[in-house]
Amino acid sequence: MPQVIDIQKRRAHLKELCRQHGIAVSDIQKLLYLKCSQSIYRWFKGESLPTVDHLIVLGHRMKLPVEKLIALKDESVTEEHIADMIRWTGEKARDSDRLRKTYWEVLGILILD
């Protein structure tokens, strides 16, 4: 099942990991060769996400796999999120032959023309 990043958890999670590993914002700025620290503060506020290359460098610095830097939603929340997307797609599919066909194919029901 696909996993979904939990923005609220990730905000506190990344900031806490940096604190636990004794990494200050200025350290991150130097480590990632960033001109200013504003993007780091945006990560901590949950306004944006670090790029994959930044996550790799941070993970290496903390001796953690990248997936440990990302807070994921638990499966029940992920399932609810996916169910919401399916419902939304189903509603949109009513007005589109292409979406309706794709919608049913994804759900495992083949529609023959």
Do residues 111 and 101 lie in contact, with contact meaning Cβ atoms separated by under 8 Å? yes
At 33 the pLDDT is 94
Strand, coil or helix: 72: strand
Structural tokens at position 84: 């919401």
Average pLDDT over residues 63-78: 74
As to burial, measured by CB atoms within 10 angstroms (0-12 exposed, 13-18 middle, 19+ buried), residue 37 is middle
Average pLDDT over residues 79-104: 75
pTM above 0.85, yes or no: no
Do residues 2 and 78 lie in contact, with contact meaning Cβ atoms separated by under 8 Å? yes
Structural tokens at position 1: 């099942």
Give the mean pLDDT of the chain: 80
